[in-house]
Structure 1
Amino acid sequence: MRFPPGFRFGMATSAYQIEGAWDAGGKGPSIWDTFTARPGTVRHGEHGRVAIDHYHRYAEDVTHIAESGARDYRFSVSWPRALASLDFYDRLVDELLAAGVRPVPTLYHWDLPQDLEDRGGWLNRDTAHRLADHAGAVVLRLGDRVRDWITMNEMNVQTLYGYALTDHAPGRGLGLAALPVAHHQLLAHGLAVQVLRTHDAGAIGIANQHFPVYPAGGDPADVSAAEMFRTLTNWTFSDPILLGDYPDEMIRAGVGVAGAQLDRDLELIGARLDFYGVNFYEPTAVEAPRAGKDYSGVLEVDIPDGMPFCPVPVKSDERTDFGWAIVPSALTEILVALRDRYPALPPVIVTENGASFHDTPPGPAGRVEDPRRIAYLDAHLRAVVEAIDAGVRVEGFYVWSAFDNFEWAAGYDERFGLVHVDRETLVRTRKDSWYWYRDLIASQSTR
């Protein structure tokens, strides 16, 4: 594999999944603190109160990142922690820079302060303005050293899993009535970009999840179902940013804003970006509902009855231990589709890609062997090269994740990390994939 000069190899994490120290320094609760406290919401009743204790072990963790040769570290700033103090992120940024690693903070990665959720959460337009306040506080504190920013993470997952369904925090279960959540997150992104530009913050982007959606067959009803699902999960969250409008009238009518106000919002949302982040894991296949057919267990979350689309298994020779289909060509496909759909697509960074395998503890020699993860990353990085060769301007790739961590409603069973974390002792052990990634990066830097 050969990547363009200056290609940005990195790793990614998020605050709630790794930091722990859930109430340190006066930090208030997030929606995930509340959600995980409810019985039955998370596998094994697990939570992120300790997570992997990155809050106290960040210096060691930065060493694992830096010694891999990764030069970008994407992390998130916990919104409820930032309301109390930004001291931790001050220390983290200084540690990263001293180690030669570029800090790339995400302003919002799903950990909404609970008091804002109590006031309506992302159903409340005011939450977008509070996110802008958060952006202003963070850039004032860190902007003298941080020059790369991501506003929001996977707005489609927050909208679908957390508000349309009940599988993630806050678990509202609103169905299509959750569309205003999408708009208010997009507005928060636009307002945050405005704040960051005012402070001359540097390069600004967003991390959106994208994936191809295939019809189960040639039946026109299946094709129509796939198009609707593709629009809801992909283009609803990228068209306003990159084309300045929602993809169809159904979405436009459902976001809860109209007329001149919507036009003003869309102008903010469509502000220029310096890069566009793409999170990718697997493609999806759907069909029109078949009476009496059981669709449960196909996706990580179940689509409720009554929707005009139902998921079916994606054809794949191999799956991760999380059950996700391994289809590297789908990454090339979605990158090319984005380039074709958006004539003014900014440079792309793959801001998340990785796989969960249930790695065994370190062996007698201290090794954690994970050949399937190495094969997965190798194949997906080759898919990135194919997209570059096809004319997509991809400038970076961040592995999800730097460390085994709290995988939201799936708890700690799912291990995505390049670094193994023992659940009892929290001891870190570099996996074979960490060494593979280090060697790949080194091979590029010697060009």
Structure 2
Amino acid sequence: MQRNRLADEQPGDPHVTTSDSLVFSPPAGSAMLRPDFLFGAATASYQIEGAATADGRHPSIWDTFCRVPGAVHNADNGDVACDHFHRWQSDLQLISDLGFDGYRFSVSWSRVMTVDGQRNEKGLDFYKRLLDELERRGLKSFLTLYHWDLPQHLQDRGGWLNRDTATRFAEYADLMSREVAGRVSAWTTLNEPYCSAYLGHTTGRHAPGLKDVRYGVESMHHLLLGHGLATEAVRANDKAPVGLVANVCAMVPASDSPKDRRAAELSYANANTWVLDPLLLGTYPEELAELWPGVKAPVRAGDMATISTRMDYLGINYYFRSNIRSDGAHGYVEEDLPNVERTQMGWEVYPDGLRDLLLDFKHRYPGLPPIYITENGMASDDSPVAGRVADEQRLRYLNRHVAAVDQAMRQGVDVRGYFAWSLLDNFEWSYGYEKRFGLVHVDYDTQVRTPKDSALALKRFLEQRRG
């Protein structure tokens, strides 16, 4: 087994040297400086685990999608990824060594349940061992049930276009919450249903690769219904908090014209309130009727009450802002703003958007639950030089975004934790292994982990915070 550098190198070794000028530092007086504010790192099962056929795991929609010619950059796939399935102990050691308070990860549905819906003992044991080790190390465990990797056999029966998949998801949630009750700090039902519905069923950029607005609307409804049913199932078995994670995006109109302002409002509804309104208000936003004329969610009696069942927390994933102009009809197009800082993904770096969205949500949703920033980070073209990975832009990015979160907190938004995306460089979905979001560099040939300068700056901050 390959080792990680932080655990192996001794103080003073050049592999762990970084400039003292690189500092992670929330604003003075911030609530983030208190020990009860949670700092963690996040991952997802298909992006890091590998071991695609180990111990009875069967294919997910991403295993299938990766085999579609042209679907994923360089025809990459998650068969090996970061080999976390075999290296999880050293990866948890890495999380401890970096000083994090918690770890957000997801379970592979295909690993823990068989095709006929029965428990897979070996797959369950993997996550039980992981949870037990997190507890032994004093790390909070934020377990996500669904991070986009639907079992392929369910997709073969319609996937999220089939209402029955919501019921199957609740059965999976019931199994997991019975099996690991008392071991989980917080449950997440769905990660970013917008990406599953819109990218997976409307634009086809993600698995299962479908391209129809109606498919996006139908799959979103069944995803949210699955969330409500799964929330009820988890609560029947465990007392840990239950929530959902939504990705959100800031919007700015390309001009002050009424058409561009309306286009930005429609884009905001698509990216943000399409998910949040049903969860927190029990209704879909009215802008959707203008955005997609004649397309309606397949709502049945009682669905919206189930979808809007109380959440104990809301996870927010934020990365960038979009510049929006009207397409001259019912929709909008995105245009790049000139002369702005961008990441390797081409996304604009705009920390104020996170603050503004948090404040918007506080005003729009009177019953807004406590918030965790469950993903925030950036991709950069990182490579080790003499054992060091200099990623100053990432550290600036993180510092500016935690400052934006602090500004929202000072104006009354209840934020209780922040998870950096991601712990490790990993399989970045349709971008394959080209984009590197990790705090820790992964050499995919050797599986050597090298903490980047940003990770080491976070480590120093967390050590100082603990005194």
Q: Is the structural similarity TM-score above 0.5?
A: yes
Give the Cα separation in 1 of the matches to 2:326 and 2:307. 32
Query: Shift of residue 287 of structure 1?
Result: 1.0
CA distance in 2, matches of 1:201, 1:53: 32
State the partner residue of 2:31: 3
Q: Secondary structure at the match of 2:319?
A: coil
Find the partner of 1:69 among 99, 111, 126: 99
**1:26-425 alignment runs, 5 A limit:** 26-83=56-113, 84=120, 85-248=123-286, 250=289, 254-258=295-299, 261-262=300-301, 264-289=302-327, 308-314=331-337, 317-361=340-384, 363-364=385-386, 366-425=387-446
Q: Secondary structure at the match of 1:409?
A: helix
Higher relative contact order (CA 8 A, sep 6+): 2
Distance 2:169 2:239 in 1: 16
1:246-298, CA deviations, whole angstroms, 9 ceiling, x for partnerless residues? 1117279734434xx24x111111111111100000011211126xxxxxxxx
User: Within 1, Cα distance between the matches of 2:106 and 2:66?
Assistant: 19
1:37-56 residue CA offsets vs partner (Å, 9 max, x unmatched): 11111111110000000000
- How big is each residue's C-alpha offset from its partner over 1:329-372, in whole Å with a ceiling of 9 and x where there is no partner? 111111111111111101110000000001112x22x2111111
Return the offset for 1:177: 4.0
* 2:15 aligned partner: none
Deviations 1:133-160 (A, max 9, x none): 1101111111121131011011111111
Q: Give the match's secondary structure for 2:249.
A: coil
The two structures, once aligned, show a CA RMSD in angstroms of 1.6
Shift of 1:71: 1.1
* Corresponding residue SS for 1:194: helix
Which one is further off, 63-72 or 409-418? 63-72
Q: Please, which moves more after superposition, 314-323 or 194-203?
A: 314-323
Q: 1:87 to 1:252 in 2, by over 3 A?
A: farther
Query: How far apart are the structure 1 equivalents of 2:361 and 2:91?
Result: 34
Residues 404 and 171 (structure 1), Cα distance of their counterparts in 2 relative to 1, 3 Å cut: same
TM-score where L is the length of structure 1? 0.92
Aligned-partner residue type, residue 383 of structure 1 = A
Look up the equivalent residue of 2:82 and give its one-letter code.
I
The alpha carbon displacement at 1:35 in A equals: 0.3
Question: Contact 2:323–2:337 at 8 Å: present in 1 too?
Answer: yes
Inter-CA distance 197–254: structure 2 relative to 1 (3 Å threshold): farther
Amino acid in structure 2 at the alignment position of 1:347: P
- In structure 2, give the amino acid aligned to 1:346: P
Normalising to structure 2: TM-score of the pair? 0.88
Task: Please tell me the residue identity of whatever aligns with 2:105.
Answer: F
Give the counterpart letter for 1:400 in structure 2: W
Distance change in 2, residues 1:314/1:142 (3 Å): farther
- Using the TM superposition, give the Cα deviation of residue 176 of structure 1 relative to its aligned residue in structure 2, in angstroms: 4.2
Matches within 5 A, 1:10-21: 10-21=40-51
Counterpart residue type for residue 341 of structure 1: R
- Equivalent residue letter for 2:317: N
Distance, in Å, in 2 between the alignment partners of 1:321 and 1:358 is 7
Distance 1:177 1:19, change over 3 A: closer
2:14 equivalent in structure 1: none
- The CA deviation at 1:101 is 0.9
- The question of whether the paired residues in 2 share the 8 Å contact of 1:146 and 1:201 is answered with no
Q: Partner letter of residue 341 of structure 2?
A: E
Question: For 1:272 and 1:445, how far apart are their aligned partners in 2?
Answer: 34
Give unpaired runs (5+ residues) of structure 1: 291-305
**What CA distance in whole angstroms lies between the structure 2 residues aligned with 1:279 and 1:188?**
20
Amino acid in the other structure paired with 1:344 = G
Q: Which whole-Å CA distance do the structure 1 matches of 2:293 and 2:194 have between them?
A: 16
Q: Distance in 1 between matches of 2:339 and 2:461?
A: 26
Contact 2:161 2:215 in 1 (8 A): no
Name the stretch that deviates more: 95-104 or 244-253: 244-253
Opposite residue 145 of structure 2, the aligned amino acid is: L
Give 2:166's aligned amino acid: A
How many residues were matched structurally? 426
Paired residue secondary structure (2:450): strand
Which residue number in structure 2 is paired with residue 298 of structure 1?
none
Task: Indicate if the aligned counterparts of 1:34 and 1:114 stay in contact, CA closer than 8 A.
Answer: yes
Instruction: Report how far residue 397 of structure 1 moved.
Output: 0.3
Query: For residue 367 of structure 2, what is the amino acid of its counterpart?
Result: A
Identity of aligned residues (%): 42
DSSP 3-state at the match of 1:283: strand
